[in-house]
Amino acid sequence: MDKAKLELVRGTLDVLILKALVWGPLHGYAITSLIRRQSDEALLVEEGTLYPALWRLESKGLIEPEWGLSENNRKAKYYALTSKGRRHLKQETKTWEAYALAVGKVLGATQPPLPEVLS
Amino acid sequence: MKNVPMWRRYDRMLGPDAAADVDDELRFHLEAKVDDLVAQGWQPDDARKEAERQFGDFRAVQNVGERLGQRTDIRRRRRDYWDAFAQDFRYAMRTLRRDRGFAFVAVLILALGIGANVAVFSVVNTILLRPLPFRAPQNLAWLAGNNGVGGLSDWTYRVDAYEEFKRDNHSFQDMTAFVPYYSLSESKLMGRGEPQPVSFVWVAGNLFQALGVQPALGRLFTPEESVKGGRPAIVLSYAFWQRQFAANPAIVGQAVRLKNESVTVVGVLPPEFDFGAVFSPGSKFDYFRPIFMDDIRSWGHMLSVVGRLKPGVTVAQAQAEATILFPKLKGSEAPDWSTDVKTTITGLKDYVSGKLRHSLVMLWCAVGLILLIVCVNLSNLLLARAAARGKEFALRSALGAGRGRLTRQLLTESLILSSAGAVVGLGFAFAATSYLAHQGAIALPLISSLRVDGSALAWTLVITAIATILFGLAPGLAMSGSNLQSALKDAGPTTSQGKKHERLRTTLVVSEVALACVLLVGAGLLLRSFLRVLDVDLGFQPSHAAAIRIDYDDGGNRSRRGAVMQEILYRVKALPGIEAAGVSDMLPLDRNRSWDLMAKGKVYSKGENYDAFVYVVTPGYFDAMGMRLRAGRDFTWHDTPDSERAIVINETAAHREWPGQDPVGRLAQGIGDGDSRVVGVVANVRESSLEDASSPEVYVCTTQAEPEGAELVVRTSVPAEVLSSSVRSTLRALNPGQPATEFRPIQQIVDHAVSPRRFFVFFVSAFSALGLILASLGIYGVVSYSVTQQTQEIGIRMALGATKWRIRFDVIAKTMRLAATGIAAGAIASFFVARGIAALLFKTEPSDPGTFTATILLLAAVSLVSGYIPARRASNIDLMRALRGN
């Protein structure tokens, strides 16, 4: 299958990570695979960007780490959303949707905008 | 996520490790990837390679992680710390608010302790620690003739000696001098309303340059102004400029009239230059004038000398040079030079404050003791509170608060208390220091520049921290280490825990009593010395006598002076309320100068001292001062410039010059030219200080010698202030140029002389009183607490037939046992401490039995009262309530 590789728009990785954690704590590897599967293999998060992003979110207090054991009994660092992170996600999602809608409108336009009415 | 297994708890037992965490996290990622790839059918080796390839630059990510991790870690730790602190703080504030009485008492006690410490530190700092307000003051040295012993005439220098030593020595880069006979420096400022009495100092022209003082306005003296024939010039002190000339800068360059000459104001000195504070504590000077050395070359010992050492030259080296150089100087063989040759050089700072070092260190120790007592007292208060809060702490510790956490909580409370105490105490210290700085009457050097400065604030921080740890740690440890189970069960006061606490508190109270005992003994000894000093036979009666500086015009003619004086005294004595009046050029304990006094015909060995303090007086002066004539007669107006010169000497002089003989009628030499006949002997007058025995004194009639100024002394039957205006108007009528000087009660001169001792006695007494109060509070607290704890026991005993008196007696006996232990320990400690302050005592033995007995009795009495109140309460317990228990 042809893997469409989409470059992540700057700043969106943070939201995606937060979203990935909505369903419960995950470790880094699980986050990449969740995003990959959720986007139908369209979004591939590189390790080189994922971990710094995670640590940044952690230091901002949006996510909270805890060490635990993985499915095959390995020591793994799990991240969970904090309530601050949850609020942040909600807000960012709104912003993102508004942005996507606006971009969609512009790109999907079939005719030039009506002349502005000056009052 | 699975449940966390047990081992994880210990994984980072030695603290967080950011690097290892990052490594673990990234390795896990690789492992998980490899697992997935293998599951997809890759060979394990290939799978690992592929995983690493996909990962990219492992090291780079790892580095980012380590950096971020460390930063997060630090931030978290800091946040945790402040969170915990904020929590403790809120909690402590809540508990303190609930217990306002306790908080108030604790803060007040701390404020007194800290305030006293800061104030005393400021005094010590001002006088001892802070450098003198000159440029490079560590290089300044003080030269004293006659090895610094004797009066002004002994340790001042002849102009020749000063100039020759200044020229020939190799130790000093500069030397300067001033004339410390301040009586020569009385003048009056004319042309601005009533003649204003002003005081000034004759200084060498280079004094300010040598000390490194820059003028605030204008300039210093030029070399031309410092030699004979130069234009008369003065520089003003800053305070005088402000007071007299309303800080008008235009005065610089203008001429002012002083007495009957016109002088030019060339500059104004900076506000921080206070000549009096350094060289003549308790005096203020209005302006400075260059002395023409040639004018006073033949006047004998006139100059106080200050030198600035060359860089790298020590005082000891300069001293070594002076010892060798002085005898080699031209003219050093002359008898007049004998005191100059015996020169002692000290650092200027040592000269200014060296004598006070011992007293100040003693005061510092006393105030340190106060802080200790305060800490012990608070420790005790906190322990009492801790006992009441035992359950609360047990509960918190059962809920998971560690021992460290609880100690921290208690320390936070202590910190809040001591910080509040420090703030209030600083307020006290500010008030005390600004009060003291404005007490012109205290003859302590530099005291006018006393203030709470940066180093005093730093000191406040230090002692606050020390106090917090001292009084907070013991109860903190005692509390947090308490036995959880027994505290929770509330087994009551009979548990070992309660016993342990009580033992600790008892120890604290005993040490408090002991410390207070040491303070009281010290204060008692100093107070006794002070009373002994006040009790000294001055040789004159200060009460009901007052002095006023007078001005007269005799044209330098002795017989005219006699007539003028006689007229003044006649008119003044005629005023109602005046019992006696007389004039002297100098007053005892005020200023002095000395001449020679030698029995005619006596042979003197080389170096033998024949100095005597000299006073030029009128007939009637002895009566006015209340001095006692031992033999012979007082002067009369028949002692004229033409008759034989008559002198009156004191007993010490009589004993030195005519031992075992009657001096009256004998001839003496050294008082002016030719012979003088001794006509009378007066009782010794303390002329230099109350504490030193009198030196030889000689009195000469004003018609037969040259006086230096004139002090009219009146003995009054009513308070002197009442007569001040009538005396002044009489003087004004006789001489319109009489300046508007104030009456000075003679008692004030005596007070001024004892003011340093009074200063130290006052403070040490105040501290010991504070110590006593705190100790009695401590006793009361402990006894009262133990009565509360034993309510049930007392109830049972009463039910079994113990009388009220019996109960009362037991409580008091317990109190006295406490007190006795403390007093015994304190008395032994005092015995050694008293030896340390022996040098500060006057006619008082360090082991003075009276002081020790009084202290012990006082402490016992105070303990008795402190114990009696709880004892009364114990005996008035309601039997039924007590038996029913808590």
Residue A50's pLDDT band, with cuts at 50, 70 and 90, is: confident
Judge contact between B87 and B47, C-beta under 8 A.
Answer: no
N residues, chain B:
886
Per-residue pLDDT at B305: 93
Nearest chain B residue to A72 by CA distance is: B32
| Cα dihedral B696→B702→B706→B708 (10° resolution) | 80
Judge contact between B377 and B474, C-beta under 8 A.
Answer: no
In which residue are the tokens 């009460």 written? Answer: B543
Is residue A2 situated within a structural domain?
no
Under an 8 A CB cutoff, do B25 and A28 touch? yes
Q: Which of residues 791-850 of B touch A (CB under 8 A)?
A: none
Choose among B485, B475, B473, B476: nearest CA to B391: B485
Instruction: Extract the tokens encoding B49.
Output: 């390679």
Under an 8 A CB cutoff, do B21 and A70 touch? no
User: Checking DSSP bridges between strand B629-632 and strand B672-682, what pairing results, if any?
Assistant: antiparallel
Is residue A76 situated within a structural domain?
yes
Nearest chain A residue to B35 by CA distance is: A72
Q: Which residues contact B704 (CB under 8 A, 6 or more apart)?
A: B558, B639, B640, B641, B645, B646, B672
Per-residue pLDDT at B493: 46
Residues of B in contact with A56 (CB under 8 A): 68
The three-class DSSP label of residue B12 is: coil
Sign of the torsion formed by the C-alpha atoms of B236, B553, B225 and B306: negative
Per-residue pLDDT at B700: 92
Per-residue pLDDT at B480: 58
Q: Which residues contact B726 (CB under 8 A, 6 or more apart)?
A: B575
Nearest chain A residue to B4 by CA distance is: A68
Q: Pick out chain B residues at pLDDT < 70.
A: 1-16, 183-186, 335-336, 478-500, 606-607, 885-886
Q: Which of residues 51-70 of B touch A (CB under 8 A)?
A: 54-57, 60-61, 64-65, 68-69
| Interface test mutation site (partner B, options A21, A54, A55, A70, max chain B beta carbons within 10 A) | A55
Rg (CA), chain A: 18
Is residue A106 situated within a structural domain?
no
Helix or strand holding residue B352 (H, E):
helix B348-353
Per-residue pLDDT at B854: 93
Q: Which residues contact B225 (CB under 8 A, 6 or more apart)?
A: B205, B231, B232, B233, B266, B290
Query: Any chain A CB within 8 A of the CB of B675?
Result: no
Sign of the torsion formed by the C-alpha atoms of B135, B138, B142 and B148: positive
Encoded amino acid at B616, one letter: V
* Cα gap A30→B627, rounded to integer Å: 109
Residues of B in contact with A27 (CB under 8 A): 25, 28-29, 32
The three-class DSSP label of residue B6 is: coil
Choose among B290, B286, B264: nearest CA to B274: B286
User: Checking DSSP bridges between strand B287-290 and strand B233-236, what pairing results, if any?
Assistant: antiparallel
Could you list the beta-strand ranges (E) of B284-350. Answer: 287-290, 304-309, 344-347
Distance from CA of B2 to the nearest CA of A (A): 6
pTM: 0.75
* Cα gap B834→B853, rounded to integer Å: 14
Query: Any chain A CB within 8 A of the CB of B295?
Result: no
Q: Which of residues 18-47 of B touch A (CB under 8 A)?
A: 21, 24-26, 28-29, 31-33, 35-36
CA angle B655, B659, B661 (to 5 degrees): 110
Pick from B28, B35, B64: CB nearest A52: B64
Is residue A33 situated within a structural domain?
yes
Within 10 A of B368 (CB to CB), how many other CB atoms are there?
A: 16
What tens digit of pLDDT does each residue of B23-67 get?
Answer: 888 888 888 888 888 888 888 888 888 888 888 788 888 888 888
Within 10 A of B536 (CB to CB), how many other CB atoms are there?
A: 17
| Interface test mutation site (partner B, options A1, A67, A78, max chain B beta carbons within 10 A) | A67
In which residue are the tokens 């607490």 written? Answer: B785
Instruction: Extract the tokens encoding A47.
Output: 């390790």
* Cα gap B190→B469, rounded to integer Å: 63
Judge contact between B301 and B158, C-beta under 8 A.
Answer: yes
Helix or strand holding residue B419 (H, E):
helix B403-437
Under an 8 A CB cutoff, do A29 and B29 touch? yes
* Cα gap B323→B542, rounded to integer Å: 43
Give the bridge partners for B143, in sequence order: B305, B345
Q: Which residues contact B557 (CB under 8 A, 6 or more apart)?
A: none
Per-residue pLDDT at B536: 86
Domain spans of chain B, in order of start: 8-87, 137-353, 509-535+751-886, 552-738
Under an 8 A CB cutoff, do B2 and A29 touch? no
Q: Where in the sequence is the domain holding A17, given as residue range(s)? A: 12-99
Judge contact between B875 and B807, C-beta under 8 A.
Answer: yes
Per-residue pLDDT at A1: 36
Per-residue pLDDT at B687: 83
Choose among B666, B609, B605: nearest CA to B632: B666
What tens digit of pLDDT does each residue of B516-550 get?
Answer: 999 899 889 989 988 888 888 888 998 889 998 88
Distance from CA of A100 to the nearest CA of B (A): 30
Under an 8 A CB cutoff, do B55 and A72 touch? no
Rg (CA), chain B: 38
Residue A4's pLDDT band, with cuts at 50, 70 and 90, is: very low
Judge contact between B524 and B851, C-beta under 8 A.
Answer: yes
* Cα gap B235→B229, rounded to integer Å: 18
Whole-angstrom CA distances from B799 to B275, B790, B793, B814, B885 are 78, 14, 10, 21, 14
Nearest chain B residue to A77 by CA distance is: B25
DSSP B311: T
Per-residue pLDDT at A81: 92
Residue A2's pLDDT band, with cuts at 50, 70 and 90, is: very low
Domain count, chain A: 1
Residues of A in contact with B36 (CB under 8 A): 33
Give the bridge partners for B201, in sequence order: B288
The three-class DSSP label of residue B321 is: helix
Per-residue pLDDT at A111: 84
Under an 8 A CB cutoff, do B68 and A29 touch? no
Query: Any chain A CB within 8 A of the CB of B311?
Result: no
* Cα gap B115→B823, rounded to integer Å: 27
Q: Where residue A69 sits, what CATH number does that domain have? A: 1.10.10.10
Q: Which residues contact B798 (CB under 8 A, 6 or more apart)?
A: B804, B807, B877, B879, B882
Judge contact between B267 and B219, C-beta under 8 A.
Answer: yes
| Interface test mutation site (partner B, options A1, A26, A27, A29, max chain B beta carbons within 10 A) | A29
- For A85-110, the three-class secondary structure string (H helix, E strand, C coil) is HHHHHHHHHHHHHHHHHHHHHHHCCC
Q: Which of residues 37-66 of A touch B (CB under 8 A)?
A: 46-48, 51-52, 55-56, 58-59, 66
Pick from A48, A66, A72: CB nearest B60: A48
Could you list the beta-strand ranges (E) of chain A. Answer: 26-27, 63-69, 75-81
Residues of A in contact with B24 (CB under 8 A): 75, 77
Residues of A in contact with B56 (CB under 8 A): 46-48
Pick from A25, A48, A59: CB nearest B75: A59
* Cα gap B98→A46, rounded to integer Å: 58
Task: Give, to the nearest 10 degrees, the angle between helix B44-55 and helix A47-60.
Answer: 60
Under an 8 A CB cutoff, do B61 and A47 touch? yes
* Cα gap B882→B790, rounded to integer Å: 9
* Cα gap B679→B627, rounded to integer Å: 16
Query: Any chain A CB within 8 A of the CB of B4?
Result: yes
